[in-house]
Amino acid sequence: MSWDDLASTALVGTDRRPYAGDLLGSAAVEVVRRRAGWRPGRPGEPVRAPDEEQEAVSRRAAERLVRILGGEHERVLPEWLSVAAGSGRRAPAYVLPELLHRGRRDASMRADLGVLAGRRGRWLAERNPVWAYLLEEPTGETWELGSAADRRDHLRRLRAAEPGEARRLLESTWERETPDDRAVFVQVLAEGLSMDDEPFLEAALDDRRREVRQGAANLLTRLPGSRLSQRMAARARACLTVEPATITVEAPSSCDKAMERDGIRPKAPRGVGERAWWLQQVIARAPLQMWGESPGAMLRKKIPDWESEVKTAWVRAAVLQREPAWARAMFACDPISDLLVALGPAEQQELAAGFTTEHDLDSQLIMVLGGVSPSWQETLATAVLRKIIQVATTQPWNLGELVRLAGERIDPAFADLAEDYSPVPSIQQVAALLRFRADMIKELS
């Protein structure tokens, strides 16, 4: 039998396709026969790795990287990569295989690896398919000649400097872009978003790619004056009747094509009713300012039916629309970490410090602290250190994640403050990690 016949028989089973003899033995013989017939290829001239153009990080920085890769404070690896990439230097060649292996599993590292791997890293990626992802990271080429990653990077930099020019550049090539690239490029417009972008984003609602439509709808939701926001406001008014003390809710009975175009997903997740799902999405995309009352006043109203869905939608609206007043009010009622994204770093830390002081150490506190931007300053740092001391006397076994978060998120400039704060071992662990990070940053600067 041919190899295809043997494979087919093995696939369906000998019960359904009888085979006289030893099927596996015959397959083994066929494998040997096929391999014996192969002609050895001619080895090509070895291609030498190109010379590097970037300067490598210092010897001390490289030694610390090896220690991190070996397991010493391994969770600070993303920070090492970010600081090193920001310096414009490259990683030493002998750690590239390990870094490229890790980048295969953790996509968040890849942008920094694109800088740190240097020319030798790309040379390695060309020879190992599992590292080929590196070839998609920016190389510094132009919009016209670069890879998708180069063009994305160029558009981001142009958008930060000249938002209108970046949009016009994207408009000029939009119809020629691949669906994947359009889905990525539309997200770049979040930087410097304004009503000048509204016509382009409104047209993108008709794109064939769902991710493009969804991305455009999310951005238009952040523009209260957009046509999409006004359409959502009309739908929300049909769902919610706001009275002085109560809010009466009538969830949508269907999801039509016009709603789908505006970013409403018709299929509900498992365990969620269709009408509840449509209601949440409509309210989340309706401009929060349309209700005409303060967030606190709206949250105090009684909602006899659909209360959970309405409040879940308001949380989503505050996050989507980056509405600090609503995020602040809703965090006071229910400290959901997602709401922190609508606030600036200073206010995030202020709210988190208050929550840390008043709340017991549990998974909710860890989630809130995890949602705060890094480089915690003195107020939050002190609140967390105080909490560590408090818990160390009652539940020392429960401190692991809080100690790690403190060491990774507090500004390393406060290493001395932590070291002098208390001789409690867990506080000294925090101080040691802060010192480790401070030395790491100094070596890379």
Which run of H or E residues covers position 125?
Answer: helix 118-127
Amino acid at site 389: I
**359 shares its domain with 424:** yes
**348 shares its domain with 430:** yes
Determine the average pLDDT of the residues in 259-281: 95
155 vs 136: CA distance, rounded Å: 16
Is residue 72 situated within a structural domain?
yes
Is residue 47 situated within a structural domain?
no
Determine the average pLDDT of the residues in 389-411: 94
C-alpha 343 chain-centroid distance: 18
**434 shares its domain with 363:** yes
**211 shares its domain with 270:** no
348 in Cβ contact with 370 (< 8 Å): no
In eight-state DSSP terms, residue 21 is S
Contacts of 320 (CB under 8 A, 6+ apart): 218, 221, 222, 284, 285
Is residue 339 situated within a structural domain?
no
- Asked whether the predicted pLDDT for residue 142 surpasses 80, the reply is no
- Three-state SS at 368: helix
Q: Please, which pLDDT band fits residue 392 given cuts at 50, 70 and 90?
A: very high
Structural domains counted in the chain:
5
Is residue 338 situated within a structural domain?
no
The DSSP secondary structure of 65-120, one letter per residue, reads HHHHHTTTTGGGHHHHHHHHHHTT-B--GGGHHHHHHHHHH-GGGHHHHHHHTHHH
23 vs 30: CA distance, rounded Å: 11
298 in Cβ contact with 253 (< 8 Å): no
Four-CA torsion 25, 27, 32, 34, nearest 10 degrees: 160
More confident residue, 32 or 431: 431
Q: What is the pLDDT of residue 428?
A: 96
More confident residue, 300 or 31: 300
Mean pLDDT score of the chain, rounded to an integer? 92
**130 shares its domain with 154:** no
Around 255, how many Cα atoms within 13 Å sit in the side-chain half-sphere?
20
Q: Please, which pLDDT band fits residue 255 given cuts at 50, 70 and 90?
A: very high
Q: Please, which pLDDT band fits residue 444 given cuts at 50, 70 and 90?
A: very high
62 in Cβ contact with 88 (< 8 Å): no
Is residue 302 situated within a structural domain?
yes
- Asked whether the predicted pLDDT for residue 282 surpasses 70, the reply is yes
- Asked whether the predicted pLDDT for residue 328 surpasses 60, the reply is yes
In eight-state DSSP terms, residue 57 is P
Q: Tokens 């008709």 belong to which residue?
A: 206
Is residue 308 situated within a structural domain?
yes
54 in Cβ contact with 118 (< 8 Å): yes
Q: Please, which pLDDT band fits residue 140 given cuts at 50, 70 and 90?
A: low
**265 shares its domain with 198:** no
Is residue 336 situated within a structural domain?
no
146 vs 189: CA distance, rounded Å: 20
Is residue 226 situated within a structural domain?
no
Phi-psi group of 271: left, alpha or beta (phi > 0 → left; psi -120 to 50 → alpha; rest → beta): left
87 in Cβ contact with 445 (< 8 Å): yes
CB atoms within 10 A of CB 346: 12
- Asked whether the predicted pLDDT for residue 306 surpasses 60, the reply is yes
Which run of H or E residues covers position 203?
Answer: helix 198-204
Q: What is the pLDDT of residue 36?
A: 86
**176 shares its domain with 261:** no
Strands, E, within 260-325: which ranges? none
**91 shares its domain with 115:** yes
Determine the average pLDDT of the residues in 202-214: 94
Q: What is the pLDDT of residue 249?
A: 96
Q: Please, which pLDDT band fits residue 139 given cuts at 50, 70 and 90?
A: low
pLDDT tens digits for range 38-92:
777 777 777 888 999 889 999 999 999 999 999 999 999 999 999 999 998 999 9
**211 shares its domain with 295:** no
Amino acid at site 140: G
Answer with the one of 175, 191, 221 that is the final residue of a domain. Answer: 221
Backbone angles phi, psi at 272, to 5 degrees: -115, 130
Interstrand relation of 240-242 and 247-249 (parallel, antiparallel or unpaired): antiparallel
Contacts of 336 (CB under 8 A, 6+ apart): 315, 330
**131 shares its domain with 158:** no
pTM of the predicted model as reported, rounded to 2 decimal places:
0.79
Q: Which residues pair with 242 in a beta bridge?
A: 247
Q: What is the pLDDT of residue 256?
A: 95
**131 shares its domain with 152:** no
**165 shares its domain with 104:** no
pLDDT tens digits for range 3-37:
788 888 888 788 888 888 888 888 899 888 888 87
Domain containing residue 123: 59-136
Q: What is the pLDDT of residue 151?
A: 84
